[in-house]
Structure 1
């Protein structure tokens, strides 16, 4: 009888945790978009040649937080391997926007891993 009661309690707790995670939007992808660690490891200041979307995390599924226009000067911070390839964390020195841009689009890339 005790084993059955414990099983019911564990099942109820698991259901509660799952429902709270769903209600708050906690998913595996959410951690990547909002909390990817980075630091200023590279530190080079470069001028971008083409427009690129700045995202909140290293994935095209993350929210766009700005756009770097051609000619914008950015600080390259560090890079990670994220969804869809390699991503650099940057700081747009003209607008102050910070975030992630996908590498391989003809612009300079960070050379230090995050």
Structure 2
């Protein structure tokens, strides 16, 4: 196995941790923010989050449905304006559905947990 084949350390972390369904939705919301080009994280942090999402996308959330994950997958495969618009609308919905305080707490949890990745 080469270093290119090794999973991202954040993915290894995500495999080992137990997140509740709302936290899974928080990961999905951040992924929507990245795809909508509204994310304020640096590139390395975004790559780490995408690795975490790659693990979490198969886990059930409580607010966001499986259709959101299907839209994310389509957005990762295509640059179609309709998909871009759909991601934008899904991001706005997710940000309304998940209380800001919970998102802030989760982002702080991620930063503390992933410091150095």
Report TM bin, short chain.
under 0.3
- Which structure carries more relative contact order (alpha carbon 8 Å, separation 6+)? 2
- Considering fraction of residues, name the structure with more helix: 2
Q: Which protein has the larger Cα radius of gyration, Structure 1 or Structure 2?
A: 1
TM-score (norm 1): 0.25
- Considering fraction of residues, name the structure with more strand: 1
